[in-house]
Structure 1
Amino acid sequence: MSKKLEANGLWESSRMMLPQHKERIIEHRSRDTVSTKPFLHEDEIEIISLNLRMSLSYTIEADIELFNEFGNKTVKGIVTSVSNSGKKIKLETDTGYELLNFDDLVSVKLNEGGDEFETDT
């Protein structure tokens, strides 16, 4: 007798994976690694603002850590302008300029000026 007719043979022999199934599995696995944005205390926000102002005023290079669901991103550069109304930060990097969202900031560390101005979360 054929193997297809024994036990679970009918389903085992016709197993198939559609592209939609693969996409759904990949999407489901990626959701496991999604993180939420950490809550920043008022003091940490104040230190971030101070470091941004110091980078802007004294052209000090800063390491800016931005929140991302799949892992934080760090950008190095000098702050060239800060828009309070739009909550945007213009950063001059080695490759050009980047506009950053103030709400995405996790920490700002100055590369010069000592440890007293560093923020860690």
Structure 2
Amino acid sequence: MNRGNKLWEGHRMILPEHRARMLQHEVESYVVPVLHEDASEDIEYRVQEAMIRRQLLTIVVGEQDGEHTVEGRIVSYRTETRSLQIHNEWGRFQIPIQNIVRVL
């Protein structure tokens, strides 16, 4: 008799404090912080240097669900979309400039 996981599916429970945290996380949405002019210039300088020297760069990107870290080489800058194209072992990604929080 193979019931799959039905026995355990019916007995799942969530602690009240975990439920409150889950609901709070759903309500809160991440807002990308507005960077100071000096921070923006520093990010721009570090991105240009990494692009010229073809170095690995770690970028912290702010999105709706929080901050994410992307590491890779900058392949190009696209002026029409104002985004960086980054290449790493998982493929190529486009990162909008306005979503960059900091460069590590």
Question: Normalization by structure 2: what TM-score?
Answer: 0.71
Find the structure with the greater CA-based Rg. 1
Residue equivalent to 1:31: 27
Stretch deviating more after TM superposition (51-60 or 83-92): 83-92
Q: Which amino acid aligns with 1:31?
A: V
Q: Does 1:64 align with 2:43?
A: no
Q: Does 1:44 align with 2:39?
A: yes
Q: Shift of the alpha carbon at 1:86? A: 2.4
Q: Does 1:98 align with 2:93?
A: yes
**1:75-121, CA deviations, whole angstroms, 9 ceiling, x for partnerless residues?**
00011111234211000111111111111100112xxxxxxxxxxxx
Q: Tell me how far apart the structure 2 counterparts of residues 104 and 47 of structure 1 sit (CA, whole Å).
A: 15
Q: Shift of the alpha carbon at 1:28? A: 5.5
Q: Tell me how far apart the structure 1 counterparts of residues 37 and 46 of structure 2 sit (CA, whole Å).
A: 14
**1:27-80, CA deviations, whole angstroms, 9 ceiling, x for partnerless residues?**
954013x23221101111111111111111001101111102332010000111
Structure 1's unaligned 5+ residue stretches are: 1-26, 110-121
Equivalenced residue count is 83
Partner of 2:33, secondary structure, is coil
Q: Tell me how far apart the structure 1 counterparts of residues 92 and 54 of structure 2 sit (CA, whole Å).
A: 14
Runs of 4+ with deviation above 4 angstroms: none
